[in-house]
Structure 1
Amino acid sequence: MHCQSGCWTCLLGLVQVIAVLQIQAVDIYTSGNVEALNGTDTRLKCTFRTSAPIGQSLVVSWNFKPETGGQEEYVFYYHGKPYPPSGRFYNRAVWDGDVSRSDASILIRNLRFSDNGTFTCRVVNPPDVEGIVGEIQLQVVSQVTFSEIYLLAVVIGSACALIILVVVIVILVRHCKKKRQENNIQMSELECKEKEPMNKKDPAEVTT
């Protein structure tokens, strides 16, 4: 009896260990700190990695905690399909992800200064139910910082300079080809003119 009881205990323990090993964490990746202009739209990026196949059991939940403090608020919920939010994000939080590509991102429209705070993204995909919740610190500002303007100006300026450089190179190459063709034509005409006197014979020589 003691032997059978011990065997059943060992078997039960083994089953529990296997069940625990099958449960893995869902890795969450977010865009971290986000700065956006008041009145514009911004995408809150949240991607994930799970060991379990992605199916109808996958759940995505977004929450928000204001910078001024207070209780955490519901923002968005996805379970097989996106469910429209209520509260302050009604008609403003829009699903912008694709779970088949491990993307659980959302879009916040018409940003307000009251949207300053921490957004959290959580993904559950049974049996993967554990994991660190992804966080995004959103800062809504009245104008972009100098660094962002400077970076944008550098990118646009570099792109314009590259386009101008390509156009100049193309024009120079075409000009060189045209010049070379003209020189070849002139050389051919000179060679023909030089050969003409040699081909003509003196009539006196022909009579003799």
Structure 2
Amino acid sequence: MSRVWIYLFSALCALVLTGVHQVEGMEMFTPSELEAVNGTDVWLKCTFKSTHPLSEERVSVSWSFQPLGNTAGESFFHYQQRAYLPTAGIFKDHAVWSGDIMKGDASITLKNVQFRFNGTYSCQVRNPPDIHGFVGEISLRVVEKVSFSEIGILAIAVGGSIGVVLLILIIYIVVRVFRRQEDDMAVDMENYKSKDQVL
């Protein structure tokens, strides 16, 4: 009988501790996928909710990067009271702080993205004692710039389509106007003939 009580007590403790862990969990919100054109800037949005009051002194933010085809990730950005920008590596002069801790925003911006920036970005926020929770992950895909010739072809195709539609519309309106004038002239002739016959 005592063993049953011990098992019940252990199960109850486990449930209570699990509930505390969930209550004190940090909630993270990030888009799962982003696409950016090579050479442009991209905003890596990461927002969070904490069960404890936010404070610039306590809250810390870490961003890490895992390149495509690589299992190991590397931390490249840190924020606590101020932004610690990367001083070396591929993100030097590319990563800037775009967040606002007091508004639950831990976002950064990558300037002038390159193809080597393809991979998964992880955002982690801590607000002691609220340090448990999910890590926000964003899969970034950097794509080729649209060349001038492709833009020109697209402009010609769109412009040509609009031109054809306008031409058809103008022809339709002109034909309708001429038919109306012919009908009016025919009515006038009939009226003129009728007057002649009466006279």
Q: TM-score, normalised by structure 2?
A: 0.61
Residue aligning to 1:34: 34
Q: For each residue in 1:111-164, what CA deviation from the matched residue of structure 2 results, as whole angstroms up to 9, or x when unmatched?
A: 1101000000001111111001000000000047xxxx9xxxxxxxxxxxxxxx
Q: For each residue in 1:71-128, what CA deviation from the matched residue of structure 2 results, as whole angstroms up to 9, or x when unmatched?
A: 2112210111111113211111000000111000000011110100000000111111
- Give, as a single letter, the amino acid of the residue that structure 1 aligns with 2:66: K
Residue aligning to 2:174: none
- Which secondary structure state, in structure 1, belongs to the residue aligned with residue 116 of structure 2? helix
Residue aligning to 1:24: 24
Partner Cα separation in structure 1 for residue 66 and residue 20 of structure 2: 33
Misfit runs of 4+, over 4 Å: none
1:37-186 residue pairs with structure 2 within 5 A? 37-55=37-55, 56-85=57-86, 86-143=88-145
- Give, as a single letter, the amino acid of the residue that structure 1 aligns with 2:129: P
Partner Cα separation in structure 1 for residue 114 and residue 89 of structure 2: 14
- Give, as a single letter, the amino acid of the residue that structure 2 aligns with 1:74: S
Q: What is the CA distance between 1:21 and its match in structure 2?
A: 2.9
Residue aligning to 1:200: none
Partner Cα separation in structure 2 for residue 57 and residue 93 of structure 1: 22
Figure out how many residues of one structure are paired with residues of the other and give that number. Answer: 133
Partner Cα separation in structure 2 for residue 143 and residue 68 of structure 1: 23
Q: What is the CA distance between 1:32 and its match in structure 2?
A: 1.6
Gaps of 5+ in 1: 1-13, 150-208
- Which secondary structure state, in structure 2, belongs to the residue aligned with residue 88 of structure 1? coil
Residue aligning to 1:184: none
Q: For each residue in 1:8-53, what CA deviation from the matched residue of structure 2 results, as whole angstroms up to 9, or x when unmatched?
A: xxxxxx9xx78x8386110000022000000111000000000101
Partner Cα separation in structure 2 for residue 75 and residue 46 of structure 1: 16
Q: TM-score, normalised by structure 1?
A: 0.58
Partner Cα separation in structure 1 for residue 39 and residue 139 of structure 2: 18
Gaps of 5+ in 2: 1-12, 152-199
- Which secondary structure state, in structure 2, belongs to the residue aligned with residue 122 of structure 1? strand
Q: What is the CA distance between 1:70 and its match in structure 2?
A: 4.8
- Give, as a single letter, the amino acid of the residue that structure 2 aligns with 1:117: G
